[in-house]
């Protein structure tokens, strides 16, 4: 049993909680729906993020850009205004991904997703520049320059993948230059960045080095670097087909170390880093996303990566998400913290636990962190279990709709002993437990009949089993307090300790 001593008089170190900076969503138009807004409002009330990022602000379904019969641009900001007004009402600002090409500006007919975002370079970069400039000016007129100066403008999404950008790397760099200049002409303090590339294998986040060297050589501004280091590999199977695998548990951490090294070598040492997409995988039908694996995965990676990025943006907050159309099952492996029926997955609980932490780190280890928030102490512990060798190599035969845990390495309970010293007075300890038996809504769904179209009764049962289990105890001691904690595989335990009056 690992023994950890906590001295309440100890002064720790301050840190910036990268998990609070950014959350993400599928596309702009989904943000016009009532259910999407209800879920995001709930997340803001219970967890609270600062920024949000999504695709498709210039896509056809937002009806922003059209040309008249003479080719003159016409702008319509009504849908964008509705979305941004709502985000403002729930204390969220955008990392505004500028995509995709409006149909009247497209140079070809290649598209992505069920909703057909056009991925071809604009046929007229001057008109693209005018659109970007008009959009930024409109936002300033509506929300004020001070507000818009706090936003981030990201150029495109994953242009290193032909799935998202039909042009060349050089054409993307030109798009970035034109966009950055259009924004900076309005105010040089506006924040613009990229390249929003995807992947990170063998020490090289795609396009970042080339992008930074281009910008440096051509005096193109870069206020932040964005990339998407999903912790995955794509080995070729015995059948000759590529399959989805997983790197080791340090995959995200190593990617951010590699990214920092490249930025330092390119002369961008102090430039902000925003990971504008991140999850256990970029597959919106990965059955792992619904499981209890996700809570310790989120907690461990966010804590391990402190100081390596300014944000680690989880993709995405909801299963109201339609890149391949709506999911056919209540738990279809969607990205969301919350599923389409409003049920909070273990990933939601992972962020809820992180949101309880203070910004003063007292102690930390491989499976725990101790923080202080005002006069309260938070002890967060987890038992992370990684995938077994076969599944990591892309062999997915051990995974099924209802059995999703046989693909993990076998692991025992984690036992910790905490000795809390320099106590003085009476204390309250609130303990929250989240594991497969306590607060995993997927496991509850399996245990209660796997209803694919849950009725009111089904949903009531599942909602009663989607939160961590809480308990409270009081103790009084002028010396020390000992507590043995057992954390089950895939489990998380949080203890919140506070001093209270004897009369409460």
Find, among 146, 140, 154, the residue nearest to 58 by Cα.
154
Q: How distant, in Å, are the alpha carbons of 15, 95, 141, 182, 236 from that of 145? A: 29, 16, 8, 16, 50
Which listed residue (97, 154, 249, 277) is catalytic? 277
pLDDT at 410: 86
- 3-class state of residue 247 by DSSP: coil
Asked whether the CA dihedral 7, 359, 337, 44 is positive or negative, the reply is positive
Tell me the pTM. Answer: 0.96
pLDDT at 503: 55
Strands 311-314 and 272-278: parallel
* List of residues 6+ apart from 130 with CB closer than 8 A: 73, 182
Measured distance CA(472)–CA(441) in Å, rounded: 23
504 residues of the chain, pLDDT tens digit each:
788 899 988 999 999 999 999 999 999 999 999 999 999 999 999 999 999 999 999 999 999 999 999 999 999 999 999 999 999 999 999 999 999 999 999 999 999 999 999 999 999 999 999 999 999 999 999 999 999 999 999 999 999 999 999 999 999 999 999 999 999 999 999 999 999 999 987 767 899 999 999 999 999 999 999 999 999 988 766 677 788 999 999 999 999 999 999 999 999 999 999 999 999 999 999 999 999 999 999 999 999 999 999 999 999 999 999 999 988 899 999 999 999 999 999 999 999 999 999 999 999 999 999 999 988 999 999 999 999 999 999 999 989 999 999 999 988 999 999 998 888 888 999 999 999 999 999 999 999 999 999 999 999 999 999 999 999 999 887 677 888 999 999 999 999 999 888 654
Q: How distant, in Å, are the alpha carbons of 22, 23, 24, 216, 418 from that of 47? A: 12, 11, 14, 38, 27
pLDDT at 488: 97
Structure token digits, residue 92:
């969220």
Residue pair 334/327 in contact (Cβ under 8 Å)? The answer is: yes
* List of residues 6+ apart from 334 with CB closer than 8 A: 284, 285, 289, 290, 319, 321, 327, 340
Look up 476 and say whether it is catalytic.
no
- How many Å is the maximal CA-CA distance in the chain? 82
pLDDT at 400: 94
In 248-334, DSSP assigns E strands to 272-278, 311-314
- The three state secondary structure string of 88-149 is HHCCCEEEEEECCCCHHHECCCCEECCCCEECCCECCHHHHHHHHHHHHHHHHHHHCHHHHC
Measured distance CA(255)–CA(242) in Å, rounded: 22
Which listed residue (60, 154, 158, 360) is catalytic? 158
398: left (phi over 0), alpha (psi -120 to 50) or beta: alpha
pLDDT at 478: 66
Measured distance CA(318)–CA(329) in Å, rounded: 14
Look up 409 and say whether it is catalytic.
no
Residue pair 318/338 in contact (Cβ under 8 Å)? The answer is: yes
Task: Tally DSSP H helices, then E strands, for the chain.
Answer: 12, 24
Length of the chain (residues): 504
């Amino acid at each position: 049993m690992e023994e950890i001593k906590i001295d309440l008089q100890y002064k720790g170190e301050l840190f910036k909680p990268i998990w609070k900076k950014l959350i993400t969503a599928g596309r702009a138009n989904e943000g016009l729906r009532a259910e999407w807004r209800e879920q995001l409002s709930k997340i803001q009330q219970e967890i609270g993020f600062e920024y949000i990022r999504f695709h498709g602000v210039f896509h056809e379904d937002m009806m922003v850009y059209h040309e008249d019969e003479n080719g003159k641009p016409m702008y319509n900001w009504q849908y964008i205004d509705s979305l941004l007004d709502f985000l403002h009402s729930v204390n969220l600002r955008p990392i505004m991904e500028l995509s995709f090409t409006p149909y009247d500006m497209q140079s070809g007919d290649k598209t992505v997703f069920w909703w057909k975002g056009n991925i071809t370079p604009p046929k007229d970069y001057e008109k693209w520049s005018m659109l970007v400039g008009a959009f930024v000016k409109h936002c300033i007129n509506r929300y004020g320059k001070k507000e818009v100066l706090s936003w981030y403008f990201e150029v495109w999404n994953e242009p290193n993948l032909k799935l998202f950008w039909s042009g060349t790397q050089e054409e993307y760099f030109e798009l970035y230059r034109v966009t950055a200049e259009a924004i900076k002409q309005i105010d040089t303090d506006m924040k613009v960045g990229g390249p929003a590339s995807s992947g990170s294998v063998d020490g090289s986040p795609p396009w970042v080095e080339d992008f930074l060297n281009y910008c440096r050589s051509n005096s193109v501004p870069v206020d932040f670097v964005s990339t998407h280091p999903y912790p995955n590999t794509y080995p070729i199977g015995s059948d000759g087909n590529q399959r989805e695998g997983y790197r080791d548990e340090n995959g995200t951490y190593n990617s951010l170390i590699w990214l920092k090294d490249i930025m330092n070598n390119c002369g961008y040492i102090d430039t902000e880093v925003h990971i504008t997409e991140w999850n256990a995988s970029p597959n919106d039908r990965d059955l792992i996303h619904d499981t209890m694996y996700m809570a310790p995965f989120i907690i461990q990676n966010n804590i391990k990566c402190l100081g390596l990025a300014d944000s680690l943006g989880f993709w995405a907050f909801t299963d109201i998400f339609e890149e391949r159309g709506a999911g056919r099952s209540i738990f279809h492996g969607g990205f969301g913290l919350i599923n389409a029926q409003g049920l909070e997955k273990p990933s939601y609980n992972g962020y809820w636990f992180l949101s309880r932490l203070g910004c003063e780190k007292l102690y930390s280890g491989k499976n725990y962190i101790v923080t202080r928030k005002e006069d309260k102490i938070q002890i967060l512990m987890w038992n992370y279990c990684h995938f077994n060798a076969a599944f990591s190599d892309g062999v997915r035969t051990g995974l099924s709709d209802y059995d999703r845990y046989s693909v993990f390495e076998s692991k025992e309970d984690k036992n910790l002993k905490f000795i809390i010293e320099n106590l003085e007075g009476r204390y309250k300890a609130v303990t929250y437990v989240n594991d497969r038996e306590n607060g995993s809504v997927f496991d509850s769904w399996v245990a209660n009949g796997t209803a694919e179209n849950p009725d009111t009764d089904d949903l009531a049962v599942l909602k009663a089993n989607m939160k961590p289990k809480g308990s409270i105890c009081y103790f009084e001691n002028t010396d020390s307090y000992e507590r043995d904690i057992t954390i089950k595989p895939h489990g998380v335990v949080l203890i919140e300790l506070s001093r209270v009056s004897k009369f409460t």
